[in-house]
Structure 1
Amino acid sequence: MKKPFNENSTLPEFPRDEVRAAITNGIKQAEEQTNMSQTPVQIKRKSKRKPLLYVASTAAAFSIMVGSAAYVSPTFASTLSQLPIVGSVFSNSGLPGLKQASEQGLTSTIGEKHTINGISVTLDEILYDESNITVGFTVDSEKELSNEYFGAGLDFTINGKYPEASSGSYGEKVLSPTVRTGIATFDVKDNMPDSFEMGLVLEGKGGEKWEFEAPVKKITDIVYVPVNHQQQAEGIQLDVSKISLSPSGIALDYKATEKGTIDNSQIGASFIEFRITDQNGKEIPSHSGGGEGHFDNGVWNFSSTKSFDPISVDVQKLTITPYLMLPSGGGGVQIDKDGAETKIPFNKSSLKEVKFQPFTVEVPKQNK
């Protein structure tokens, strides 16, 4: 006869190795199924089917965990029962792209939880699409936390190494004085692999350091639409190469160049944004996106991928209008090849409005 579980006993560590192995196996299985369903089409679509990638990953992970609980120990079964419900951060974020991607099984659900100094942080969900890697997590503390307890939020690594340059955003939703959710986005760069081992680090004001690892893979349900639009305005050369459509949203890739001096990167080309409307004049909400720039032979070169909400299947045409979002204040930091930082003061008088010409893009017919 089995001994009853003692609720006061110490719970074991979260079974990280088993979960990570299960997610990796699920990714491999999903790739095999997705590759079998691929059909050549004119517009590059990696898969016509909704990818099974993360659905398979989640099922594999939890089947192993349930099996272990049933045949190993009641203690492990109790650990399983205390795992948080995952997926709620994206679904309740108020962002249509994250909600839709989560509901369609395009995200990787993790559920890994670590507790330090009475503060529990649970890594809930990860989405890797064309423009961003988005991470959702939940914080449950025994005591009330200050508004900026986690500073600028999560840092990430790629296969154990910090990227040479990264940008993104971070925000929190306070549910109660002791419970909050956080969403961090990291902009996708051209040289980032389609799949890798992602490390995540979150630091607290009390010196805490929560660390997580999980395999991630870019979603495959993406339609790439070539644009190849170029125009010049007030000395700015703008090149929009493509847009990408997926259940998580629109990603718009562009580059812009403008003559300048190395001691001032705050020129018009560095403030380019885009407004997108459909054939009925309805605006597609923008979530902006970070960018990067470098100076070469008297010219500043900027590039970025801008993010927008997903569009419905009845959208046939998009009108894209570039514009400058000029700041009223601020400044910047210049980093040389040795990593030394130099503050750049903001000079609004050197900036002026620039009028770009709108252009249209035909949207390929989407499957309902």
Structure 2
Amino acid sequence: MNYKDFNLEEKDIFKLFNQVSFEENESEINDMDCDEISKLQKERIKKYLNKRIKGNFSLKLFKYCSTAVAVGLVCLIGIGTAYPAFAENVPVLNSITQALNNQFGYHGNYAEYSQMINKSVTDNGITVTINEALADNSKLIIGYTIKSAKKINDLEVVGISKFLKINGKAVSGGGSGMGNYQDDNTYVGSEEIHTNLPQNSDLFNVDLDIDDIRGIKGKWDFAFSVSKDGLTKHSTVFTPKKVVDFPDSKVTIDKVVFSPIDTAIFVSGNYTDKNRKLKDSLFDYDYWLAFDDKGVELIPKGIGGGSSNSNTQTFHSEMDYETMNNMPKYLTIIPCRIIPSAGGGVKMDADGKETKLSVETKEPVEINKVINGVYPIELPQGRFGKLIINEINTENNTTTINFTAEGKAPYFQATEFFLKDNTGKILTPKTYVKRKDIQNPNEFTIGFTALDPNKKYNVSTTALDNVELREDLKFKIELNK
């Protein structure tokens, strides 16, 4: 598949803030005044969201909480009159979920474990197709296509969990979505819904109900069954039950799951500081840099999501990373906290009570250097290390930048690479930051639409001084059965 890139305008960024949860504990960024936030701050916010949401997906991917999603999200599918017989777990040949993950540099084996649905409903000039689905014990992933006789805007703002029922019951939890416009009338997407799926059976029924797509009324009804069997059978689960003391919380690593599509660390905990003030994070230092037993950094897919209960002073969280080729003997975790450059919002507890968040902010120092054709170009990143631009090549209408990240967390550092034009505008990548290969884990590439040879451009990064790195809290998760 060929997916066209798209850029979100300034208005779209703030539209997404109504759905995005910084901490996945039912909070939203809803107190922002567009006129009061500078262009630079907006770029900083986007980078903050990239880190908290999923690596380097820019805003093509967003996270949300189902109980806090704003009215008017795009609903994609609905229930039918009866559940069809479950399809065999046959690999999906043109898997949308696989294609999108490949596009952004993730290497999970989605196609092999996806189950074909391939059901379409047309109403009011719009055809919605549910192409595929896959699931394990904690997540349901759905690949879909929307085709319209007329162009529909804002389909990147997707959130179907609000309309999801599993075995007839509404679900709670959060999720993430990604997608691209294939053309003006076709949008392909994949949504990952994190929720507690039935544990007493491998097979469960899915209902989704839709009567509005971006203001267009209609009826798109579907029902289908999904099996967890394929993924769970090929997943390895460890239950270390390790307890880690943090400054104002106690965290238990409940389980670590290595699956064909990702690596997930599930944690629970309680706040030890009863007077703890509301923060921009679920618990203190809830962004975890993870490394295997050879010291290679795991590529993050979604970190810091979860839920909390102010009555019991407890929380649950999930850290998702890319799937691993080899099973490590242990993981090393360095907790840190990313301080946003701007923010605000509300926290909604389990009882629906809202409390305003007072978010600490910090503007990181920026480092810019002009591309002058002389390499290497070094970009210092404070206590983390540095980026080294080795070469820049243009071929087939794509400019590829090859660079090395040296320091404490090379992949994390690599995602802080920017390219700016002569006006200072940050350019959107054509292909996102990718690790060269596992043999060269600190070598990266990123691609852009071919640069104009008659214009000046800057390579840029930050000093990462808005990241509080707690090496003193570093710990190991031993992976013993």
Scaled by the length of structure 2, what TM-score is found? 0.52
Which residue of 112, 120, 126 corresponds with 2:119? Answer: 112
2: CA distance, partners of 1:19 / 1:316: 43
2: CA distance, partners of 1:252 / 1:173: 29
**Counterpart in 1 of 2:227?**
217
Check conservation: 1:233, 1:354, Cα contact below 8 A: no
Q: Let me know the Cα RMSD of the aligned residues.
A: 3.3
Check conservation: 1:87, 1:125, Cα contact below 8 A: no
Check conservation: 2:247, 2:284, Cα contact below 8 A: no
**Counterpart in 1 of 2:170?**
162
Shift of 1:114: 0.9
Q: Residue type of the partner of 1:275?
A: L
1:237 to 1:354, Cα distance in 2 relative to 1, 3 A:
farther
Q: Residue type of the partner of 2:475?
A: P
**Aligned ranges 1:342-357 → 2 under 5 Å:** 342-348=354-360, 353=468, 355=470, 356-357=473-474
Check conservation: 2:138, 2:197, Cα contact below 8 A: no
Q: Residue type of the partner of 1:213?
A: A
Report the 3-state secondary structure (helix = DSSP H, G, I; strand = E; otherwise coil) of the residue aligned with 1:227.
coil
Higher alpha-carbon deviation: 183-192 or 279-288: 183-192
Higher alpha-carbon deviation: 114-123 or 184-193: 184-193
Q: Residue type of the partner of 1:189?
A: N
**Counterpart in 2 of 1:358?**
475
**Counterpart in 2 of 1:296?**
311
How many correspondences in the alignment?
284
**Counterpart in 2 of 1:138?**
145
Check conservation: 1:131, 1:306, Cα contact below 8 A: no
1: CA distance, partners of 2:316 / 2:240: 16
2: CA distance, partners of 1:196 / 1:149: 28
**Counterpart in 1 of 2:204?**
196
Check conservation: 1:141, 1:179, Cα contact below 8 A: yes
Instruction: Write the deviation string for residues 47-75 of structure 1: whole angstroms up to 9, x where unpaired.
Output: xxxxxxx13xx8xxxxxxxxxxxxxxxxx
1: CA distance, partners of 2:224 / 2:197: 21
1:282 to 1:169, Cα distance in 2 relative to 1, 3 A:
same
1:170 to 1:252, Cα distance in 2 relative to 1, 3 A:
same
Q: Which has the larger radius of gyration?
A: 1
1:20 and 2:84 equivalent? Answer: yes
Shift of 1:336: 5.9
**Counterpart in 1 of 2:255?**
242
1: CA distance, partners of 2:278 / 2:328: 41
Taking only the aligned residue pairs, the percentage that are identical comes to 20
1: CA distance, partners of 2:295 / 2:479: 14
Shift of 1:273: 2.3
**Counterpart in 1 of 2:290?**
276
Check conservation: 2:174, 2:194, Cα contact below 8 A: yes
Shift of 1:193: 5.5
Report the 3-state secondary structure (helix = DSSP H, G, I; strand = E; otherwise coil) of the residue aligned with 2:301.
coil
Check conservation: 2:264, 2:321, Cα contact below 8 A: yes
Check conservation: 2:252, 2:268, Cα contact below 8 A: yes
Q: Residue type of the partner of 2:474?
A: Q
1: CA distance, partners of 2:316 / 2:95: 33
1: CA distance, partners of 2:179 / 2:334: 31
Report the 3-state secondary structure (helix = DSSP H, G, I; strand = E; otherwise coil) of the residue aligned with 1:311.
coil
Gaps of 5+ in 2: 1-79, 362-465
Which residue of 267, 290, 293 corresponds with 1:254? Answer: 267
Q: Residue type of the partner of 1:235?
A: D
Gaps of 5+ in 1: 1-15, 27-53, 59-84
1:229 to 1:336, Cα distance in 2 relative to 1, 3 A:
closer
1:320 and 2:333 equivalent? Answer: yes
Shift of 1:171: 2.4
More helix by share: 1
Shift of 1:97: 6.4
Report the 3-state secondary structure (helix = DSSP H, G, I; strand = E; otherwise coil) of the residue aligned with 1:94.
helix
2: CA distance, partners of 1:139 / 1:276: 37
1: CA distance, partners of 2:264 / 2:349: 28
Scaled by the length of structure 1, what TM-score is found? 0.67
Report the 3-state secondary structure (helix = DSSP H, G, I; strand = E; otherwise coil) of the residue aligned with 2:283.
helix
Instruction: Write the deviation string for residues 176-226 of structure 1: whole angstroms up to 9, x where unpaired.
Output: 111111111111337765532111235402123423211122232211112
**Counterpart in 2 of 1:333?**
347
Q: Residue type of the partner of 1:273?
A: Y
Report the 3-state secondary structure (helix = DSSP H, G, I; strand = E; otherwise coil) of the residue aligned with 1:304.
strand
Check conservation: 2:248, 2:276, Cα contact below 8 A: no
Check conservation: 2:264, 2:320, Cα contact below 8 A: yes
1:193 to 1:260, Cα distance in 2 relative to 1, 3 A:
farther
1:208 to 1:318, Cα distance in 2 relative to 1, 3 A:
same
Check conservation: 2:116, 2:132, Cα contact below 8 A: yes
Check conservation: 1:318, 1:363, Cα contact below 8 A: no
Q: Residue type of the partner of 2:174?
A: S
**Counterpart in 1 of 2:159?**
153
